[in-house]
Amino acid sequence: MEYRKLGDSNLEVSAITFGSWAAGGWMWGGTERNESVKAIKASYNEGVTSIDTAPIYGQGLSEEIVGEAIKGIPRDKVQILTKYGMRWDLKKGDFAFKSKNNDGQDIDVYKYSGKESIIKECENSLKRLGTDYIDLYQIHWPDVTTPIEETMEAIQDLITQGKVLYAGVCNYNENQMMEAAKTINLVSNQVPYSMVNRGIEQVVLPYSLANKKSIIAYSPLERGLLTGKINPGHVFANGDHRATNHFFTETNIIKVNAFLQEIIPLAADKGISVGQLVLRWTIDIPGITIALAGARNAEQAIQNAKAIHVKISPDQMSFINSQLDQLLID
């Protein structure tokens, strides 16, 4: 495994980090807890020491699963990255969307990052995770109803108390990052980035590189689309958000699979899966410190971790990028 420091911090994380959104089941058509625990443990055994989670993932379930999976591992051997600022149990802040929990009950999700809410969320996360500190604490989405200064002051208080080591953000643009940096030292920004979703290359990535902020790339496999296992007509499980995601229209699935056919021979020559090639491509992009990779079982987790051993030459990167330049997603 490769380990990289987040921003200008001393926190070293695994370049392939376990993403545990799907482990929580919410918006993924459910989960199998035991399989998720096994997946995290298998990932750790392959050198993946970092795990990204959030309270909203399964309304606490993902964090509980992470806590169960890391029980018995020396705390300083694993890095917990979790989040705050999405409440399903409090109608306050910026309404985000309506959803259903894993039991099929209606819930309203709000983006809220007021100081008192953050303090409560942190305490709840620490309990679910079974730890007394969080390595990286990240605001999940910007909250337009709370001044960024207030939010970051709360995180600074938690750092002073030793409950949080470092501060990060998610889904922030460069202006929001600059505003937050007036109050606290940010080490990272977690944003969507994949071969078919490269919007951050315009401004956010250059800003982060110039200011020594790490980019944590989420959905690098575009929720499974870039594994080559999704074909036109695919039927998703009830409650799986991909059923209505624009990347998964029949037209886009056909286009992406045609692109994958061009790079599959390269993966085959290396004796790897196309998904492993995609993950390696992602963390080879300058400025991308981490690629989050989710897994529903141990085998998937092991395969994701092994992507770290893939080597892509400059000529091969150029070939992949030339194929991507021809890919136009609707």
Instruction: Look at strands 79-84 and 134-139 and give their pairing.
Output: parallel
Which residues fall within 8 angstroms of residue 3, CB to CB, at 6 or more apart? Answer: 12, 13, 14, 15, 49
Name the phi and psi angles at 83, rounded to 5. Answer: -135, 175
DSSP labels, 255-294: HHHHHHHHHHHHHHHHT--HHHHHHHHHHTSTTEEEEEE-
Q: Which residues pair with 233 in a beta bridge?
A: none
Active site annotation includes 207? no
Q: Are 6 and 190 in contact (CB under 8 A)?
A: no
DSSP labels, 124-192: HHHHHHT-S-EEEEEESS--TTS-HHHHHHHHHHHHHTTSEEEEEEES--HHHHHHHTTTS-EEEEEEE
Q: Enter the tokens of residue 29.
A: 């058509």
What separation in angstroms does the CA of 147 have from each of 93, 101, 150?
11, 29, 5
Closest CA to 158 of 136, 179, 180: 136
Which residues fall within 8 angstroms of residue 175, CB to CB, at 6 or more apart? Answer: none
Instruction: Look at strands 16-19 and 79-84 and give their pairing.
Output: unpaired
Q: Are 66 and 294 in contact (CB under 8 A)?
A: no
Which of 44, 57, 193, 218 does the annotation list as catalytic?
57
35 C-beta neighbours (distance < 10 Å), count: 16
Report the catalytic residues: 57
